[in-house]
Structure 1
Amino acid sequence: MNLVWQIFTLRSFPMKAYLSTSLLHHITVGHFKSWQQGSIFMQWGDFLATIIISILYILSPYSSTALIGWLLGICFLFWGLITVSDDTSKQNAASITPLHIVVMLYWLIAATSAALSPTKQDSIKDLATFSLYIPLFFLCARVLRSSLMRNIVITVFLHTSLFVSIYGIRQWFIGTPALATWVDPESSLSKTTRVYSYLGNPNLLAGYLIAAVILSAVAIFAWQTWLQKTLAMIMLVVTSICLILTFSRGGWIGLLAALFALITLLYYWWNLKVPPALRTYLPVAIVGVVTILFILLLAFVEPVRERFFSIFVGRKDSSNNFRHNVWDAVFKMISNRPVIGIGPGHNSFNKIYPLYQVPGYTALSAYSIFLEIIVETGFVGLAGFFWLLIVSFNIATQQIQSLRVIDKTDAFWLMGALATMIGMLTHGLVDTVWYRPSIHTLWWLMLGIIASYWTPIRQNQTEDNSKISNY
């Protein structure tokens, strides 16, 4: 069974042997390494790539989709430049991980779906847009292998999210008009301000801040000085308050899932250091404190209480009713093209959905990323996506086990990336803000962080070795 799992997660995949015989790898990597050796510009390639990635995450909350697209295009060009000039003879040369392989297979499924789409022209355009995120992942996976570069990018994102959160909290105090029908006009919450900061939508802001809250919490442990830890605590409080003030129920649920995942990972990390008498009671105490704080929030903050309990009223809430009607139409779309879907992208969805929609319930997406994946790429695409998740989660957990043995604090960022992904996926059960560039770029950053920790299996380790932690 262990051998089957290793094969399924590509843990025992002979990566070095594959790359040595891969024609594509041979013709694309290292042909201009002499240029890199003689160019001062290219010798600083990884640092320049870090600057480009940082600029992307600085501007993403404030920028239009078009500008983010241009920045992703620059990432693509720069990744291609450092790849063709890479010196593969170096010990720390860029490596291909199992996650790279699964990401490319997922892209091939999307490309096949676009080729077979009933709205082929629209799907191919959206496939080109989706394709821009893949080099971002490649670039992050390469550059973030350096703990210094990783810290720079994450620190830049956390400072950016802090400013975004401060402006969002300011909106709560001074008031801000809703830019769309976010609240049922007949609800008692119709006058409640839902902050959206620079992102223009409270659900979108909530999805963006899930990563900010989790990475801020992780920074408390990963950063070394007390000044840095204090800053991380301030970031955690400010971003958490701003996320709550979005009144995004999906965002709240996603945050709770991410926090639960992070607490579980942190408990595993410190389990051996905690006195045996406390090992049983410590996690119960932590969950108890979080539960008490949540109950106090519900008891004393009426808008939060009403918004939370509206989750359970079914179709009586207008937002719930809207989603149910959209999902009814989406299920019909899936039943007609279950294998490979209608093609990737919102343009195809906008062409096909009106043929199935419940009258009066227009929608730009399926309001669930899992349903959206099935609609766009069928159950084949969903299987590919789940495989991507399994491989990434397996790499993350194996590396956490390995780093735990040597007590290396770099593991905290890995835990943060894994918990953030879980939070994003949970939020995505009932919303599709995950597809918006400001959040989707964060998703690929989390995958890039996980891939950057990967190391090949030891050559002398047998396939049936039960000590899987030796990555």
Structure 2
Amino acid sequence: MNAWQQFTLTHVALQDWRSGSYLHRSIVGILRSWRQSSLLIQWADQIAAVLLSLIFVLAPFVSSILVGLLLVACGGFWLLVTLTDIRDQAKLTSVHLLVLLYWGIATVATAASPVKSAAFVGWTKLTLYLLMFALAARVLRSPRIRAWMIAIYLHVALLVSVYGLRQWFFGATALATWVDPESPLSKTTRVYSYLGNPNLLAGYLLPAIAFSAMAIFAWRGWIPKALALTMLLVNMACLILTFSRGGWIGLLALVVTLLVLLVYWLSIQLPPFWRMWSLPILLVGMLSVLILAILFVEPVRDRVLSIFAGRGDSSNNFRINVWLAVIDMIRDRPILGIGPGNTAFNRIYPLYQQPKYTALSAYSVLLEIAVETGLIGLFCFVWLVIVMLSQGLTQLQRLRQHNHREGFWLMAAIAIVVGMLAHGTVDTVWYRPEVSTLWWLTVALIAGYLNASVSEPNPGNSTVATQ
């Protein structure tokens, strides 16, 4: 086992750890005698899928408080299932271990925070998200439930996107100052649909674009495929019309990743010429479309050029000033940070902010993680991402060898991780429940594949209820 395999926990012996762990033996399955007589537990996976589905059905339309109550329900149900579980079925992956490690670091950061009560609020929210991840990772091992969850989210996202396009055609009142009043875009409609913020809407739609693109290949029948293509076009159009520069960066990273993975997947079936040249042709074609849009579509040109305007753009200038203040915060507490959550951030940031540059977050996910949990937490998060991508690609290779249709969803999940990280470099919308739940769903999706068996292709289970 080489150094890279050790770093990515490729061959970590989780089975041995489970059998030798006192904590695992003393918690998992202590109520399993109740399992056989309980109708509730016998339908545990289906009930968990319903609870998770409710989150993704309601998240764009309801308050964060209701989403929080659903997360509490998911956490409580996961605890019940774990206490009644059969030990051999309580499967863990390297992703689980690193998520647990990150939670442990956040817990220590909370205990060491200069504003402990505020940090505890953020720690509670993080814990709820991670409990949702644990429940989702359990049930997403099932191809049928996995396909059902993705289909649910795609149909809700389609509704959100359609309403966003309606705002573009009929107009929408800006709920905040999203663009520089002196910019040529000051009169341009930026759609926000039911989410109330175009940047948040862009973050919400990134996973929908990846899943709908792969649904074209994964769903069977011309009607489901036509529906998937419609979803893809509507979601992409709506995201573009948010005029969210961070969303556009995330979209570009996501599309490039999908193209690379898709060409890799299909290369076995391609003739030698297309095996070599299909990816360059696709990338050049995408780049040509992007250049033509910049040259001939004035709002797109103005928005793209504003990315490179430095402090000449008010949004850029605002973010730069916030980043500089956040870097000072990290410099003063580099090891464990100030504790998790925006409540702790709002208590400490005013001590560092430059005049007139108030902020609710660091406007960069990596800076946010560093300021909340220190460089230790940032290292753990980066480690988690590397392990997810490395082991996800390894599993994708196995699925490709068997031509297993489930590989399309895994490609989508890998592209979502890349796209959301690219968006997150310049924004922190994924801390909002509408986006954060999608991030942890994607992490759980990848973790679910790490325990899946791919010895035999089973495409029948990879289709969705829309067939």
Q: Write the distance in 1 (CA, Å) between the matches of 2:221 and 2:27.
A: 43
> Mapping of 1:103-142 within 5 angstroms?
103-142=99-138
Candidates 150, 156, 163, aligned match of 1:154: 150
The residue identity in structure 2 corresponding to 1:381 is: G
Aligned position for 1:347: 343
Question: 1:66 and 2:65 equivalent?
Answer: yes
Alignment of 1:441-456 (within 5 A): 441-455=437-451
Farther-moved stretch of structure 1 (26-35 vs 225-234) = 26-35
Cα offset, 1:303, TM superposition: 1.1
Are 1:285 and 2:281 matched, yes or no? yes
How many residue pairs get matched?
A: 454
* Alignment map for 1:209-228 (pairs within 5 Å): 209-228=205-224
Cα distance between partner residues in 2 of 1:457 and 1:414: 14
Report the counterpart of residue 14 of structure 1 in structure 2: 13
The sequence identity of aligned pairs, in percent, is 52
| Between 10-19 and 144-153, the greater mean CA deviation after superposition | 10-19
CA contact (8 A) 2:141 2:452 kept: no
* Displacement of 1:31: 2.1
Which of 310, 319, 322 is residue 323 of structure 1 equivalent to? 319
Asked if 1:99 is matched to 2:99, the reply is no
Offset at 1:269? 0.9
Which residue number corresponds to residue 256 of structure 2?
260
Q: Which amino acid aligns with 1:57?
A: F
Aligned to 1:364: 360
Deviation at 1:259, TM superposition (A): 0.7
- Tell me the equivalent position of 2:401: 405
Deviations 1:70-94 (A, max 9, x none): 01001001111111112235xxx23
SS at match of 1:381: helix
For residue 381 of structure 1, what is the aligned residue in structure 2? 377
Structure-2 separation of matches of 1:190 and 1:74 = 43
- RMSD of Structure 2 on Structure 1 (CA): 1.4
Please list the CA deviations of residues 211-258 of structure 1 after superposition, one character each: whole Å capped at 9, or x if unmatched: 111111011111111111110000000000000000000000000001
Superposed counterparts of 1:20-59, under 5 Å: 20-59=19-58
Offset of 1:41 from its aligned partner?
2.3
Partner of 2:185: 189
Secondary structure, aligned partner of 1:38: coil
Q: Which amino acid aligns with 2:53?
A: S
Q: Contact 1:30–1:85 (CA<8 Å) still a contact in 2?
A: yes
Aligned counterparts of 2:58 and 2:288: Cα–Cα separation in 1: 37
Deviation at 1:418, TM superposition (A): 0.8
Q: Which runs of 5+ in 2 are unaligned?
A: 455-467
How far apart are residue 456 of structure 1 and its match?
Answer: 8.9
* Partner SS state of residue 403, structure 1: helix
> What do the CA deviations read for 1:425-459 (whole angstroms, capped 9, x no partner)?
0001100101111100000000000000113999x
Equivalent position SS for 1:190:
helix
SS in 1 for 2:359: coil
Q: Deviations over 1:286-313 (max 9, x none)?
A: 1122122222322332111111111111
CA deviation profile, 1:136-193 (whole Å, cap 9, x unmatched): 1111111011100000000000000000000000011111111111011111111111
| Residue in structure 2 matched with residue 3 of structure 1 by the alignment | 2
Q: Is there any run of 5+ residues in structure 1 with no aligned partner, and where?
A: 459-471
Question: TM-score, length-normalised on structure 2?
Answer: 0.95
- Given that 1:169 and 1:195 are in contact with CA atoms closer than 8 Å, whether structure 2 keeps it comes out as yes
CA distance in 2, matches of 1:399, 1:48: 28
Q: Is 2:228 the partner of 1:232?
A: yes
- Aligned structure 1 segments of 4 or more residues deviating by more than 3 angstroms: 455-458
C-alpha distance in structure 2 between counterparts of 1:31 and 1:348, whole Å: 37
Q: Secondary structure at the match of 1:125?
A: helix
Whole-angstrom distance in 2 between the partners of 1:375 and 1:51? 36
Q: TM-score, structure 1 length as denominator?
A: 0.94
1:104 deviation in Å? Answer: 0.5
